[in-house]
């Protein structure tokens, strides 16, 4: 026997020569990248520069903002490292494995261990991780990621296969020619997902906000310094402190950290639900999902199939039928659940030679085997084996559905190529426990269910109805006639006899009005999974389906999908609310800077004022409120909605600052007393904004607001010397009156903006 596969020494040599495939997908950032991304940022650089300038003034209490900067960085690093640890631990479950022949034995290795010249065994369902040449067997491959063509390509001995393409059917041994960066289609693997949320609205809006602030902050700071230098009573210290306060106010650094931490924490929470997030920003997609598409097998049912009974409709004997079926089934090297059920049922001692074999493919919906001196045996979907013009089609098409039982046709074509129906196999699949409760909950959350299956539509409809899918009696057979996809997705709930490319078209039609999640596990689901806004695969599914999905269900349990959707809504809704709190400071700082520049006056805040207000009224409460349930469906644009919620409070703070200046000028009030009024009123406006944004009111939310209010008053009163303010009882009436007017103004402006936006 000749040597087959590489030896250990040959493998080690190729590893030394760096001819290794390497890691194909990283679920988590490296430790170095986490630290870099949290420390070496543009905003942190600005804060360090400001810290140096503030330190030179000798008023060190105003440098306390660096404590918040350092805390934000540490929280970001710690939470992302915790998420990384969990992701790295779970990665071993989702790493794609292939069979490789080494030292004359077939072993299972991960795709990153493949070396050049390895001999691999590839089967249906795998996304090819290397470039190679077929040396034995044959494959049907979908090369749409490479060529854009969806038609399967037949690969025989001597043909080249490329990384990123997907094996639809067949079994072959492939010699590896290119690995790692040498692969012709290396970037195809990264581009396999076409999700609308791969670069989400949240991600885009955050990047847009950072870009706008980054561009404006330096010129605005220079203008502010120039204008304040023209104010006679201001010295070096005053100019530095006022300018620093304006710039610190405009930097939304807490918002960026909050988003990263919230998504990292959400990833860990989803892991506890046994759901692995492979695309971080797909969590936002979950928050917007209002349609969930799913296959019948493995979602509504457990995929544990058994033959219920067989109906013989020709003059063939049961013994011969069993022999024919066993001959075909012995050719199935990697049987799917249906083939396994058939293998268990059709046993025979008679041996029949099989001259050729065509494996099952979702595009054909049948398999065929040429039995020596007998004819070609066809096993699969009745409508795809027989033409509509055939007499047998007219006889049996509308009669063979038996409720929830799946029907498989067995036909034989002899020399004249006329197919004769031999029998019908009825297969039973077990319904998932609690699936009714799961679907009912999704419906209550405003999520529409669509069942898309390759099976007979009446059968799928029966199972969907039993599972509790709303409007399950509205079904359509997509194998018949021309399809207006925009129309059928609105009219029907159950879609039967669907081809893989039709699944994709159905999702595209749904996406014109909805945000769509797709739950699948097979190679036939891959086009739809790539198209979906959020793709969810089962751990037990094909490696290709798992590789391109945003989320993998680690226990293959469809019943966790409602919890996943709710988690997505919770984290994004709370990020959106917290964003409004952070943007209040950014907006009023920008408006005040314009006011100061236009009127050549003094900036009303110093850094220590904003540090105290931000910590007590924004930083601390938003961390605790981030864990609050918030399951309403996300609507609108993230950044625009956050701005609209923040704008009333920002305008009110600006008006309070102007009023305080006018009041001080008209009454001759000392600067420390005027600052006392402004800081208190600003704190009240912030606390009211916290209460207003986190609606509806719950005991927990109200408790947080009350605790923060108490803490604010305590810190305000006992740190007057640090804050540079002086509050006396004589200021109480004007302070309280201004606070009340501020609250009323925020309410009125908020109501006005909400009405206009609608």
Cβ atoms of 549 and 324 closer than 8 Å: no
Residue 59, classed as helix, strand or coil, is coil
Cβ–Cβ contacts within 10 Å for residue 293, how many? Answer: 26
**Strand locations in 10-143, DSSP E?**
97-102, 105-110, 119-123, 131-142
For residue 711, which of 628, 625, 617 has the smallest C-alpha distance?
617
| Spatial contact of 255 and 485, defined as CB atoms under 8 Å apart | no
Taking Cα atoms as reference points, which of 255, 299, 342 lies closest to residue 578?
Answer: 255
Give the CB-side neighbour count of residue 706, counting CA atoms within 13 A: 7
* Cα–Cα distance, 710 to 702 (Å, whole number): 12
Please give the full DSSP string across 172-211, using - where no structure is assigned: EEEEEEE-GGG-TTHHHHHT----TTTT-HHHHHHHHHHH
Tokens read off for 75: 């929280």
**What token pair was written down for 391?**
């007499």
The residues annotated as belonging to the active site are 295
CB 268 within 8 A of CB 82: yes
Q: Using alpha carbons only, how large is the chain's radius of gyration in Å?
A: 33
Residue of 683, 684, 662 lying closest to 674 (CA atoms) = 662
CB 551 within 8 A of CB 277: yes
Backbone angles phi, psi at 277, to 5 degrees: -85, 120
Residues whose CB is less than 8 angstroms from the CB of residue 322 and which lie 6 or more positions away in sequence, other chains included: 346, 347, 348, 350
Find tokens 């025989």 and name the residue: 156
Question: What is the residue whose two structure tokens read 């490696």?
Answer: 543
Cβ-proximal residues to 24 (8 Å cutoff; 6+ apart), any chain:
96, 111, 112, 129, 189, 547
- Give me the torsion for CA of 557, 286, 621, 694, rounded to 10°: -120
Alpha-carbon span 264 to 262, nearest angstrom:
5
Q: Using the structure block, give the residue that is written with the tokens 């199972």.
A: 463
User: Which pair of tokens denotes residue 448?
Assistant: 């529409």
Residues 6+ apart with CB under 8 A from 215: none
CA distance 119 to 111: 12
**516-520 sheet: strands from edge to edge:** 275-277, 551-553, 534-538, 516-520, 291-294, 448-452, 494-496, 475-477
Q: Using N-to-C axis directions, what is the helix angle for 201-229 and 561-599, rounded to 10°? A: 20
User: How many CB atoms lie under 10 A from the CB of residue 465?
Assistant: 18
The phi and psi torsions of 596 (rounded to 5 degrees) equal: -65, -40
Alpha helices in 126-167 (DSSP H): 144-147
């Amino acid at each position: 026997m000749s040597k087959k596969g590489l030896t250990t020494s040959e493998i080690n040599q190729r590893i030394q020569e760096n001819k290794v495939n390497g890691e194909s997908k990283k679920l988590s950032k490296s430790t170095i990248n986490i630290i870099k991304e949290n420390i070496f940022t543009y905003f942190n650089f600005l804060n360090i520069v400001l810290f140096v300038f503030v330190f030179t003034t000798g008023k060190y209490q105003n440098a306390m903002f660096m404590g918040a900067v350092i805390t934000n960085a540490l929280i970001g690093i710690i939470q992302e490292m915790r998420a990384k640890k969990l992701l790295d631990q779970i990665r071993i479950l989702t790493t794609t494995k292939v069979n490789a022949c080494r030292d004359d034995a077939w072993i299972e290795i991960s795709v990153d261990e493949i070396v050049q010249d390895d001999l691999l065994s590839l089967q249906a369902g795998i996304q090819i991780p290397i470039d190679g040449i077929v040396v034995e067997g044959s494959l049907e491959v979908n090369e749409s990621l490479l060529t854009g063509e969806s038609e399967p390509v037949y690969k025989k001995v001597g043909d080249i296969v490329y990384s990123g393409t997907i094996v639809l059917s067949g079994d072959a041994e492939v010699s590896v020619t290119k690995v790692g960066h040498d692969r012709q289609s290396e970037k195809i693997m990264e581009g396999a997902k076409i999700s609308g949320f791969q670069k989400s609205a949240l991600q885009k809006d955050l990047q847009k906000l950072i870009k706008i602030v980054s561009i404006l902050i330096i010129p605005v700071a220079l203008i502010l310094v120039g204008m304040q230098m023209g104010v006679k009573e201001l010295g070096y210290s005053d100019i530095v402190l006022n300018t620093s306060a304006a710039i610190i106010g405009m930097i939304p650094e807490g918002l960026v950290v909050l988003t990263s931490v919230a998504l990292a924490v959400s990833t860990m929470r989803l892991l506890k639900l046994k759901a692995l997030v492979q695309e971080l920003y797909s969590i936002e997609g979950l928050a917007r999902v209002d349609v969930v598409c799913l296959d019948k097998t493995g979602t509504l049912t457990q995929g544990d199939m058994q033959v219920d009974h067989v109906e013989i409709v020709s003059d063939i004997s049961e013994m011969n039928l069993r022999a024919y079926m066993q001959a075909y089934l012995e050719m199935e090297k990697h049987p799917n659940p249906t083939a396994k059920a058939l293998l268990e049922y059709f046993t025979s001692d008679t041996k029949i030679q099989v001259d050729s074999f065509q494996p099952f493919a979702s595009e054909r919906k049948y398999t065929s085997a040429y039995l020596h001196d007998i004819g070609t045996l066809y096993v699969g979907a009745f409508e795809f084996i027989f033409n509509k013009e055939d007499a047998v089609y007219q006889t049996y098409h509308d009669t063979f559905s038996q409720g929830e039982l799946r029907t498989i046709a067995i036909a034989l074509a002899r020399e004249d190529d006329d197919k004769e129906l031999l029998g019908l196999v009825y297969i039973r699949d077990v319904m998932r426990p609690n699936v009714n409760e799961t679907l009912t909950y999704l419906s209550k959350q405003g999520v529409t269910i669509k069942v898309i299956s390759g099976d007979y539509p009446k059968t799928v409809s029966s199972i969907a109805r039993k599972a509790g899918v709303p409007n399950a009696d509205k079904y359509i057979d997509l194998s018949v006639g021309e399809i207006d996809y925009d129309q059928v997705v609105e009219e029907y709930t159950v879609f039967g006899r669907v081809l893989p490319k039709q699944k994709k078209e159905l999702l595209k039609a749904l996406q014109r009005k909805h945000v769509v999640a797709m739950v699948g596990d097979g190679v036939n689901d891959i086009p739809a999974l790539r198209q979906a806004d959020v793709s969810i695969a089962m751990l037990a599914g094909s490696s290709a389906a798992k590789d391109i999905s945003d989320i993998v269900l680690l226990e293959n349990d469809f019943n966790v999908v409602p919890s996943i959707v709710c988690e997505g809504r919770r984290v994004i809704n709370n990020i959106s609310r917290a964003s409004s709190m952070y943007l209040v400071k950014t907006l009023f700082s920008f408006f005040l800077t314009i006011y100061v520049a236009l009127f050549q006056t003094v900036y009303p805040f110093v850094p220590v004022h904003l540090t105290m207000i931000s910590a007590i009224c924004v930083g601390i409460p938003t961390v605790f409120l981030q864990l609050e349930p918030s399951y309403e469906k996300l609507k609108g644009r993230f950044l625009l909605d956050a701005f609209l919620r923040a704008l009333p409070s920002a305008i009110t703070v600006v008006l309070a600052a102007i009023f305080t200046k006018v009041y001080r000028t008209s009454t001759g009030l000392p600067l420390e007393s005027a600052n006392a009024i402004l800081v208190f009123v600003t704190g009240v406006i912030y606390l009211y904004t916290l209460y207003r944004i986190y609606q509806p009111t719950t005991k927990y939310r109200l408790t947080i607001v009350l605790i923060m209010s108490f803490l604010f008053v305590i810190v305000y009163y006992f740190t007057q010397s640090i804050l540079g303010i002086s509050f006396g009882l004589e200021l109480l009436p004007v302070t309280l009156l201004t606070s009340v007017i501020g609250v009323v103004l925020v309410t009125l402006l908020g109501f006005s903006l909400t009405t206009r936006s609608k």
